[in-house]
């Protein structure tokens, strides 16, 4: 356990999460994203690169522009990863509650 997980790092940055959410709203081109965001076009491209490597997002060339969509692959992986970590945390918390109950006896 405890490797570095790309999806987590990808969504930790506020701007990058904004990019992700914009794409989640609907597929968008790089320029389309740049128009909305307060950063330059290369900055957007770099965020997209990170999201793409985490497989959270997928590029679909259309003419001169690149339309970015959500990518089910990484989306599923991250969901599974979160569920696992979340399950562990909740189980741990449950154990803790049981322990304090036990002590109170």
Partner DNA sequence: CATAATCATAAACCATGGCTTATGATAAGC
Partner DNA sequence: GCTTATCATAAGCCATGGTTTATGATTATG
Interacting residues with a copy of itself (CB under 8 A): 1-4, 8-9, 11-12, 14, 17-18, 20-21, 23-27, 69-70, 72, 75, 79, 82, 85-86, 88-90, 92-93, 95-96
As separate numbers, helices (DSSP H) first and strands (DSSP E) second, the chain gives 5, 3
Give bridge partners of residue 29 from the DSSP assignment. 67
HSE-CB for 50 with a 13 A CA cutoff: 19
According to the binding rule CB under 7 A, does residue 43 interact with DNA? yes
List the structure tokens of 63. 């003419």
Give bridge partners of residue 17 from the DSSP assignment. none
The least CB distance from residue 6 to DNA, in Å, is 10
Interaction site with DNA (CB under 7 A): 9, 12-13, 15-16, 29-32, 34, 38-50, 59, 63-67
């Amino acid at each position: 356990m405890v490797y570095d997980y790309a999806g987590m790092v990808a969504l930790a940055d506020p701007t990058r999460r904004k990019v992700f959410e914009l794409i989640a709203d609907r597929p968008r081109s790089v320029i389309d994203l740049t128009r909305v965001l307060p950063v330059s076009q290369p900055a957007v491209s770099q965020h997209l690169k990170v999201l793409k490597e985490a497989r959270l997002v997928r590029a679909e060339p259309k003419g001169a522009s690149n339309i970015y969509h959500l990518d089910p692959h990484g989306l599923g992986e991250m969901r599974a990863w979160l569920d696992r970590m979340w399950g562990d945390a909740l189980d741990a918390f449950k154990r803790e509650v049981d322990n304090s109950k036990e002590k109170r006896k």
